[in-house]
Amino acid sequence: MDATRFLAENVLNERRTVTYRSLSRALKVHAHRAKQILFEFHRIENAKKPQSVHATYLISGIQNPPEPPATNGHANDEDAIMQSSPYLPSSMPNQEVTSDQVRIASVIIAREEDLEDAKATFQSISMIHVYSVQPSTLQDLNTLTDVCREMATAHAQDDPLECGPQWGMIQNRNVKRRTGARPPPARAAAPAPKAKLESTVPAKRTLPTKAAPAKLESKPEDSQPASDSQSSVKSTGKPAAPKREKSNLFSSFAKTKPPKPKPTESATQSAAEDVMLDDASEEEQEELFPDSGDKVPSAVREGKKEREEKLKKMMEDDDADDEEMADADEELQREPTPEEQPPPPPPKPAELKEEVTVQDGRRRGKRQVMKKRTVKDAEGYLVTREEATWESFSEDEPAPPKKKPAVNVAKAKTGKPGGQGSIMSFFGKK
Amino acid sequence: MASAEDYGFLRPPSNDEYEPVYRKPSAYNPLQTFTLPMGSVRHYQQQYGDMYFLRLAKLKPAVEKVATDAWGELTVAGESARRVDRVLDVRQGELCWMAGTVYMDMPLKPNILEDLTRETFTSAPPPRRTYADPSNPSATQVMMEDESGRIRLTGNLLASTQLATGVIIAALGTETVNGEFEVIDFKVPDLAPQPQRWERGEAAAAASEQSGQDVSKGSGKIAFLSGLGITGTSSDTLALELLTDYLLGYTSIDGSDAASRITRLIIAGNSLGASVTADTASAGSDNAAKKKLAPKKYGYDASAYNSSPITQLDNFLAEILPSIPVTLMAGEKDPANVSLPQQGIHRAMFPQSRAYCAPPPSGENKEEVGWFDSVSNPWEGDVEGWRLWGCSGQNVDDVLRYLDFPSDDTDPTAERDDSEARLRIMEAMLRWRCGVPTAPDTLWSYPFQTVDPFVLETSPHIFFTGNQPSFKTAVIEADAPLRLDGDVEMTDSSGETPTGRVRLLSIPKFKETGELILVDTESLEVEVIRFGNFAGQEEKK
């Protein structure tokens, strides 16, 4: 059975803790059934090999009044309270100080070994079920929390409003959720690695990608051998991720908060915030790795598809920026294509870059440039690191491309960004 | 074990189909009593004196009516008690009564003038357990003031009574040769008139009746919670997970779908742990110099700010919100303004949960009520037709500091069990008709100019206070006036028609007790559910 295999893999092989809720989410079964599955698994496995699987149980019911062990209870001796409260002389009109009459139900989690002890503290037990199974006794029950968090992360893309019935969640007919400007369940963005990638590459950065590919395609004579482009295409998905990690690492050196600790959360970040954070870290990174001139023109093409995808997604997601994006797009496509064609694509990447930027400067505009580094390693494989950088150029600062990208380029309209960008890069330089 | 008692779960998987369970609808109608004006309309230049003036103007008629009823016919030794309009009109030796605001001068009370001279006025005063000086009880002075002036109150009665600054009372007595007013008796305004259930929005009542028909019969429940104290570490949230499971119906107490009857969760403040702000503050001062040198970055400095607690809170809320509407009150330790009334925690703090917020008000449209409502502290509103008035605990904590603790306390660090006193303070507040009497004296407050929202113009049906050391509840009725003097004279309750019953709830800190409070929406009966783990052999090792 599927469930048994899942449990065997996770608990026995990978030695992880599985709670009834993580099981319920993973297999999309009702929570109640998940509890039964866990119980069955625990029973069967221990029958095969005793002590191979340990369980924790959840007990609910009414506990015995004295000293509920599970809580750091306050003062069980009511009399003492009465005596020691001379502050306000008794004025309760009807003696309904009812703390002892109130029904106190308890929900207690206990390890397998403590189950009988725990049961003994209950006056009446209304329910027991298996809460989790794990390969060994839990030293600290609080580690179950981590399982829950992992579960929330792993299944973040499930919309609780849709999947709730499957899990056995209590439904609410009246729930109101906004589906407005912001994509509401941003956590539902994508499975982990992809989400990370997307979040760290801010919306605006993806814009030029469309332009860049376009211009490359328009070139009739591409100096790049086919094999290269192939390899670069292949490498699109994979190399991006490690690179991102690296950028995180550096950005943390730079005292910037890495975009987000968890992939799911990162996706929820509003685009604007991400742009800012990321630009900051990007900037830093640029400093740490000055241009070594080992760029390959085809690098621009790498990750094209990926970026197009992202672009599409961003276009869908980010309504607010729609207009700007469209503008920029148009501009970029209009401008670069004719300009790019005359200069034959130089074999050296650095040259290409310079060319582009110089032209930009003359064309009194801003230009977003994709910088990619493809390093040939010892075996002759191309290892690609993409670094998409936005640079803005105005008349004031012409030819030599600034290493540091202006932060606000993408957002700002044509005139302004130059000034802002230069100020930022000035500060960044320090 | 499985054969004997399986509770439905300790057995192999069955093929039972589980019917979807639907939660009862929630009738919810918050009041905007404590919502401050936005933006440039919010000023802090006003004088606080206006608040006392407004409070006195509002409560004086009420307390004078009570006093007239009690003392109008009173004669002592042939002399009838005369009413004096202003405290300065009191004549020596003459039996009279007057109404005014209590002001208590206590040795350890934070004093703005002292702070100003020491130039420490920019930071919050250090927390004190009491403002009284136990070694010198006589240093505490009680005064009564009104628009005209102040008179010092004395008398044995005061020694056995507890009052707090900002309370409006009427006092009977005579002026002594020292110019002090010797108090024989005093009166408080007593409970304000209580609205009928469903007074606001009969439509809502009807709607809930109707929709109640297709859902299961029976009364709903309102859940109260406070002091989640999320610190973002794994140590604090197992109980929270159990709570989540319970609220979402994955775990039930008695196999029934009782959790589906909970129509709304109210979180009364301090959802985040103490260490968040404290650590940040200390880290901030340490790194102050360093920070200035660091290049300016966007976002926050990861070394000085830990986003994990608020992220965990957001996750928790986002998890339960699909199933249950939540009212989140700000609290002392939450990221909101310090002065009362604290405004709701901004939705930007909740990237996931904010999808359930009401959309921001656009133009002239009145803001609609959100499924997830981040509200002020204190907060007032109607839930299931009942009027609720609650605070995250600062009001009770502060009044408690005015109370005279026994001075023979050998161990000052010991946690005193004052839960009974806290409940009595809550009762007293209702009878004082003032939910936060000590603002703006010892509790920071917004300088209100035209209205004192802390005055309870109507008595709520449920009066709750969050972040208390332990759970307590009581019911008080209006027909038995509060006798703060310790007079145990019993009023004849059968003779009068009660104008109201108020359920008092002192809500414990969830972080410490793991307790969730449920209040029945029909009977206002209370039950408690406690979440925790069993400290077994592993812990004892």
> Do B465 and B371 share a domain, yes or no?
yes
Per-residue pLDDT band at B178 (split at 50, 70, 90):
confident
Per-residue pLDDT band at A57 (split at 50, 70, 90):
confident
* Cα distances (angstroms) measured from residue B350 to each of A191, A399, B345, B372: 21, 45, 9, 11
Three-state secondary structure of chain A = CHHHHHHHHHHHHCCCCEEHHHHHHHHCCCHHHHHHHHHHHHHHHHHHCCCCCEEEEEEEEEECCCCCCCCCCCCCCHHHHHHCCCCCCCCCCCCCCCCCCCEEEEEEEEEHHHHHHHHHCEEEEEEEEEEEEECCCCCCCCHHHHHHHHHHHHCCCCCHHHHHHHHCCCECCCCCCCCCCCCCCHHHCCCHHHHHHHHHCCHHHHHHHHHHHHHHHHCCCCCCCHHHHHHHHHHCHHHHHHHHHHHHHHHHHCCECCCCCCHHHHHHCCHHHHHHHHHHHHHHHHHHCCCCCCCCHHHHHCCHHHHHHHHHHHHHHCCCCHHHHHHHHHHHHHCHHHHHCCCCCCCCHHHHHHHHHHHHHHCCCEEEEEEEEEEECCCCCEEEEEEEEEEECCCCCCCCCCCCCCCCCCCCCCHHHHHHHHHHHHHHHC
Closest CA to B155 of B130, B139, B170, B175: B175
Closest CA to B97 of B68, B62, B77: B68
For B100, the domain range is: 50-114+126-187
Residue B88 lies in a domain: yes
**Which of the given ranges, A206-210, B54-58, B71-75, B83-87, has the highest pLDDT on average?**
B54-58
> Do A141 and A208 share a domain, yes or no?
no
What secondary structure letter does DSSP report for B499? -
The chain B residue lying nearest A40, using CA atoms, is B12
Residue A88 lies in a domain: no
Domain count across chain B: 2
Distance (Å) from the alpha carbon of A2 to chain B's nearest alpha carbon: 13
Residue B291 lies in a domain: no
- Between chains, do B538 and A80 touch, taking CB under 8 Å as contact? no
pLDDT at A313: 67
d(CA A414, CA A363): 11
d(CA A202, CA A259): 11
Which residues of chain B are within 8 Å of residue A130 when distances are taken between CB atoms?
Answer: 9-10
Residue B244 lies in a domain: yes
Confidence check: pLDDT of A295 > 80:
no
**Strand, helix or coil at B53?**
helix
Per-residue pLDDT band at B285 (split at 50, 70, 90):
very low
> Do A218 and A271 share a domain, yes or no?
yes
Amino acid at the residue B323: S
> Do B480 and B333 share a domain, yes or no?
yes
> Do B198 and B239 share a domain, yes or no?
yes
Residue B289 lies in a domain: no
Sign of CA dihedral A164, A166, A167, A169: positive
pLDDT at B320: 87
Average pLDDT of the segment spanning B258-270: 85
Residues above pLDDT 70, as percent of chain A: 36
Confidence check: pLDDT of B116 > 50:
yes
CATH number at residue B432: 3.60.21.50
> Do A14 and A46 share a domain, yes or no?
yes
The pLDDT tens digits for A370-395 are 677 777 777 778 777 776 666 665 55
For A385, the domain range is: 186-429
Residue at a domain's end among B187, B204, B235 = B187
> Do B146 and B226 share a domain, yes or no?
no
> Do B378 and B441 share a domain, yes or no?
yes
- Between chains, do A258 and B302 touch, taking CB under 8 Å as contact? yes
Residue at a domain's end among B167, B187, B207 = B187
Which residues of chain A are within 8 Å of residue B472 when distances are taken between CB atoms?
Answer: 97, 99
Domain count across chain A: 2
> Do A140 and A196 share a domain, yes or no?
no
- Pick A318 or A211 by higher pLDDT: A318
Residue B102 pairs with which residues in a beta bridge? Answer: B144
Residue A74 lies in a domain: no
- Between chains, do A90 and B488 touch, taking CB under 8 Å as contact? yes
Average pLDDT of the segment spanning A182-193: 40
Residue A360 lies in a domain: yes
Distance (Å) from the alpha carbon of A406 to chain B's nearest alpha carbon: 13
Q: Which candidate in B534, B537, B539 is best for mutational testing of the A interface (most A CBs within 10 A)?
A: B534
> Do B180 and B257 share a domain, yes or no?
no
Chain centre to alpha carbon of residue B403: 18
* Cα distances (angstroms) measured from residue A336 to each of A211, A332, A357: 8, 6, 11
> Do A190 and A126 share a domain, yes or no?
no
Which residues of chain A are within 8 Å of residue B476 when distances are taken between CB atoms?
Answer: 92-94
d(CA A411, CA A204): 8
Residue at a domain's end among B187, B204, B225 = B187
Residue A97 lies in a domain: no
Residue at a domain's end among A139, A167, A195 = A167
pLDDT at B427: 86
pLDDT at A124: 83
| Contact (Cβ atoms closer than 8 angstroms) between residue A168 and residue B249 | yes
- Pick A344 or B97 by higher pLDDT: B97
Residue A406 lies in a domain: yes
**Which of the given ranges, A149-158, A289-298, B145-154, has the highest pLDDT on average?**
B145-154
CA A12, A17, A20 angle in degrees (round to 5)?
110
> Do B172 and B274 share a domain, yes or no?
no
Residue A75 lies in a domain: no
Distance (Å) from the alpha carbon of A172 to chain B's nearest alpha carbon: 5
Q: Which two tokens stand for residue A374?
A: 């493809």
- Between chains, do B245 and A167 touch, taking CB under 8 Å as contact? no
The pLDDT tens digits for A320-341 are 444 444 444 444 444 444 444 4
Average pLDDT of the segment spanning B177-192: 84
> Do A239 and A109 share a domain, yes or no?
no
Q: Which two tokens stand for residue A61?
A: 């019911």
Chain B from 328 to 347: CB within 8 A of any A CB: none
Residue B120 lies in a domain: no
> Do A284 and A150 share a domain, yes or no?
no
Confidence check: pLDDT of A257 > 50:
no
Distance in Å from the first CA to the final CA of chain A: 62
Q: Touching check for B5 and chain A: CB below 8 Å?
A: yes
The pTM for the full model equals 0.65
The pLDDT tens digits for A28-53 are 888 888 888 888 888 888 888 877 88
> Do B321 and B388 share a domain, yes or no?
yes
**Which of the given ranges, A83-87, A163-167, B158-162, B239-243, has the highest pLDDT on average?**
B239-243
> Do A227 and A132 share a domain, yes or no?
no
pLDDT at A343: 47
Which residues of chain B are within 8 Å of residue A186 when distances are taken between CB atoms?
Answer: 351-352
